[in-house]
Structure 1
Amino acid sequence: MNFLRNTLGVLCGLAMAGVVISLGVKINSSWVNYEGFFPFEHWWELLKSVENKPGFFWTLLLSSGFGATIGGVTTAIIVKYAKVAYAILIGFILLFIAMLDIIVFPYHPTFYKILIFITYFPFAWLGGKIVEVIYERNKRKEFPKSK
Structure 2
Amino acid sequence: MNPILRNVLAVVTGWFVGSLVNMGLIRMGHTIFPIEGVDPNDMNALAEVLPNLEPKYFLFPFLAHALGALIGAVVAGLIAINNKMKFSLAIGGLFLLGGIAVNYILPGPRWFAVVDILLAYIPMAWIGGQIALKASKTN
User: Per the shorter chain, which TM-score range?
Assistant: 0.7 to 0.9
Call closer, same or farther: CA 1:66–1:18 in 2, change over 3 Å: same
Q: Is the 8 A contact 1:50 1:56 kept in 2?
A: no
Of residues 89-98 and 59-68 in structure 1, the stretch that sits farther from structure 2 once superposed is: 59-68
Confirm or deny that 1:101 pairs with 2:119: no
TM-score, structure 1 as length reference: 0.78
Q: Which amino acid in the other structure matches residue 75 of structure 2? A: T
Q: Which amino acid in the other structure matches residue 69 of structure 1? A: L
- 1:48 corresponds to: 47
Report how far residue 63 of structure 1 moved.
2.0
Inter-partner Cα distance in structure 2 for 1:99 and 1:120? 10
- 2:59 corresponds to: 58
Q: Secondary structure at the match of 2:119?
A: coil
Inter-partner Cα distance in structure 1 for 2:18 and 2:68? 4
Inter-partner Cα distance in structure 2 for 1:46 and 1:80? 44
- 2:83 corresponds to: 82
Structure 2 stretches lacking a partner, 5+ long? none
Inter-partner Cα distance in structure 2 for 1:43 and 1:94? 22
Q: Which has the higher helix share?
A: 2
Amino-acid identity (%): 25
State how many pairs are aligned: 131
Q: Which amino acid in the other structure matches residue 134 of structure 1? A: A
Q: Is the 8 A contact 1:25 1:56 kept in 2?
A: no
Inter-partner Cα distance in structure 2 for 1:18 and 1:50? 24
Q: Is the 8 A contact 2:84 2:129 kept in 1?
A: yes
Confirm or deny that 1:25 pairs with 2:26: yes
Q: Which amino acid in the other structure matches residue 120 of structure 1? A: Y
Runs of 4+ aligned residues of structure 1 deviating over 4 Å after TM superposition are 31-34
Q: Specify the structure having the higher radius of gyration (Cα).
A: 1
Q: Is the 8 A contact 2:66 2:119 kept in 1?
A: no
